[in-house]
Amino acid sequence: MFQYESPGMQKHLKDLKPTVFADLIAMNALYRPGPMEYIPSFVRRKHGDEEIDYDLPDMEEYLKETYGITVYQEQVMLLSQKLAGFSKGEADVLRKAMGKKQKAVLDKMKPKFIDQASEKGHDAKVLEKVWKDWEAFASYAFNKSHSTCYAWVAYQTAYLKAHFPAEYMASVLSNNLNDIKSVSFFMEECRRSGIKVLGPDVNESAYRFTVNKNGEIRFGMGGMKGVGEAAVLEINQERAENGEYKGLFNLLQRIDLRTVNKRTLESLAKGGAFDSFENEHRAVYFDKNGDDRTFLEKAMKFANSVKESEESSQVSLFGEASDVQIPEPPIPQVEEWPRIVALKAEKEINGMYLSSHPLDEYKLELKNYTNAGLGIFQDLEQISGKKFMVAAIVTEVRSGVSKRGDQFGFVNFEDYRDTYELGLFGEDYHKFKHLLQKDMMLHLTGIVKTTRRKMTDGTEKVYHRVNLQRVMLLSEVLEQMAGGVEFRVRLQDLDMNLIDQLEDLLSTHGGNKTIKMVITDSHEEKPLSLEMSTYQYKVELSHDLIERLKLITPYDIKLN
């Protein structure tokens, strides 16, 4: 949101609770180095928690809207005219001198201000204080008209985001279409705001991000790698004229394959733009079935053959149109891509995961055995000495050998929101390098250590380093870190059918981990204060067990 999206500005605005447009103008002027120190006082004065005082009664007229605090150059101009009888020209000279920090000009104007204001009956000592405050103000003087324009645009964007959130975010995403980092940032904002963002679809997407009839944002095909504007225009124009595409063959026969070429079609397939076609999935388009051509290439050849046949308008010797039908290549019967393969292709083309995220499979582990995301590493000083547990995907690994012959590596990690590059050297690198492979989903435990080193010039240099203590596959976290699992069952649901379900489930998941069933009162949702209200078994923890338990109990399942 224009001007107001930084965490610091958000905090101050929440404290201020602006009620008039002038509050927004003032915050734009105050939220900068220098005047920022006046924000707490500004907030307290607005809410009546601090007395508003004026050095001179005549100053109230122009300082009332900012609760007695000088915020704008225009206030100084108007006050110099009112207090000391400066002309408009002299007031403008004062403004320029303050804005450009021209001390010589200010020093020259001070005696005139003091003398002329004294002649108007103002106390000279108070005038000295006012001028001294203005001199300090000169270092951060801000133009009110400029701040007003900023506040007006910010107010408009805030209004749109509040009342038309999906349309607003679609516009913001479209405006950053070619900046994948910004698109990822705004996609996360959509998720935070509860706005659903759907992947690209040849039957709904435009070139840019749009909002469908359900209020969901549809990913623009222009944001897909390898899909140009001309190709999107061709697909959308044909769809607008003749309706939705029924499947791959229908699409290929209706569009110009010189505009929508093989590379474009492969990108559309990989990125999920064909996912809405029935009986077709991404693996189908790239299946070769022992041939040297993919099904997509065969389908394109078929479509071209059909078009050539139609264009030639062959007629038999008896003057009748030829009725020869070219058979469609059979759709391959192949297994769908594994979820991680489909997601990797999706990210390659769209720049991000859209249909889901690789870490979604491990939500239980993230909820119970992490205490932060990769974002904490943006400020190592803040977490110095603190233990962290994070989950992330390895996206890139670079290794090398130092001049001393020691191996080292730089590993890029990614989670839902952030990325982080970690350097590993010496023993740490050798200890974990077998797990630090691209696409590995890992659980990282460690601590940020701080060291201080005296420099030759007597200064001290501070170093913060991420020290990994344990690295394991996310798929092994339940087995290695969980002691057991607890779930609850309502008394009213406890019947022979449920008991039979539990016996079948637990008998097929035998192991050495404790599973505890707690019977709860159906109204208060608290454990019954009865003997035998808790039952324990031994099981092997797995995602399958947890998912099947979720079908039995409406409560959260706890790991311990």
In the chain, what percentage of residues exceed pLDDT 90?
Answer: 54
Provide the pLDDT for residue 499.
Answer: 84
pLDDT of residue 526: 61
Work out the pLDDT band at 510, boundaries 50, 70, 90.
confident
Q: Give percent of the chain with pLDDT exceeding 70.
A: 95
CA distance 308 to 311: 5
Same domain, 199 and 303: yes
Least confident of 133-137, 197-201, 221-225, 383-387: 133-137
Domain endpoint, select from 474, 506, 529: 474
pLDDT recorded at residue 96: 86
Least trusted range by pLDDT, from 35-44, 113-122, 334-343, 522-531: 522-531
Q: Which residues contact 314 (CB under 8 A, 6 or more apart)?
A: 321, 322
Tell me how many domains the chain contains: 4
268: domain CATH number is: 1.10.150
The verdict on residue 347 lying in a domain is no
- Strand 387-401 to 419-425 pairing: unpaired
Joined together, the tokens standing for residue 460 give 């001290």
267 assigned to some structural domain: yes
Does the pLDDT value for residue 533 go beyond 60? no
Question: Given 474, 497, 517, which residue is the final one in a domain?
Answer: 474
Regarding whether 199 and 94 lie in a shared domain, the answer is no
pLDDT class for 323, splitting at 50, 70, 90?
low
Which contacts of 97-104 are long-range, i.e. CB under 8 A and separated by 24 or more positions? 97/138, 98/73, 98/134, 98/137, 98/138, 98/141, 99/73, 99/138, 99/141, 99/143, 101/138, 101/139
Asked, for residue 362, whether it belongs to a domain, the answer is no
Candidate from 73-87, 190-204, 302-316, 338-352 with smallest mean pLDDT: 302-316
HEC string for 331-358 = CCCCCCCCHHHHHHHHHHHHCCCCCCCH
Regarding whether 307 and 421 lie in a shared domain, the answer is: no
131 falls within a domain: yes
pLDDT at 524: 57
Residues 180 and 316 in one domain: yes
Which of 423, 444, 474 is the C-terminal boundary of a domain? 474
Please report whether residue 169 resides in a domain: no
Tell me: pLDDT of 500 over 70. yes
Mean pLDDT of 463-490: 89
Taking 50 as the threshold, does the pLDDT of residue 532 lie above it? no
For 74-80, which contacts have Cβ atoms below 8 Å and span 24 or more sequence positions? 74/143, 74/144, 74/145, 75/144, 76/134, 76/137, 76/141, 80/113
pLDDT tens, position by position, 178-211: 887 788 888 888 988 889 999 999 999 999 999 9
The pLDDT assigned to 442 comes to: 96
33 plus 133 within the same structural domain = yes
DSSP sequence for 89-120: HHHHHHHHHHHTT-HHHHHHHHHHHHHHHHHT
Asked whether residue 346 is assigned to any structural domain, the reply reads no
- For residue 342 the two structure tokens come to 């489909």
Helix (H) or strand (E) holding 545: helix 543-550
Q: Please, which pLDDT band fits residue 316 given cuts at 50, 70 and 90?
A: very low
Judgement on whether residues 213 and 81 belong to the same structural domain of the protein: no
Find the mean pLDDT for residues 132-154.
86
**In this structure, are 332 and 374 located in the same domain?**
no
Write out the residue range of the structural domain in which residue 105 sits: 7-150
Output the pLDDT for position 325.
66
CATH code (residue 428): 2.40.50.140
189 and 304 within one domain: yes
Phi, psi angles (nearest 5°) of residue 158: -65, -40
315 and 186, same domain (yes or no): yes
pLDDT band at 529 (very low <50, low <70, confident <90, very high): very low
Residue 420 has which token pair?
Answer: 């982080």
Residues 397 and 544 in one domain: no
Residues 466 and 493 in one domain: no
Give residue 324's pLDDT band: very low, low, confident or very high (50, 70, 90): low
Domain membership flag for residue 87: yes
3-state secondary structure string across 231-261: HHHHHHHHHHHHCCCCCHHHHHHHCCCCCCC
pLDDT value at residue 64: 92
Mean confidence (pLDDT) of the chain: 88
Same domain, 400 and 441: yes
Tell whether 364 is covered by a domain: no
Q: Is the pLDDT of residue 547 over 90?
A: no
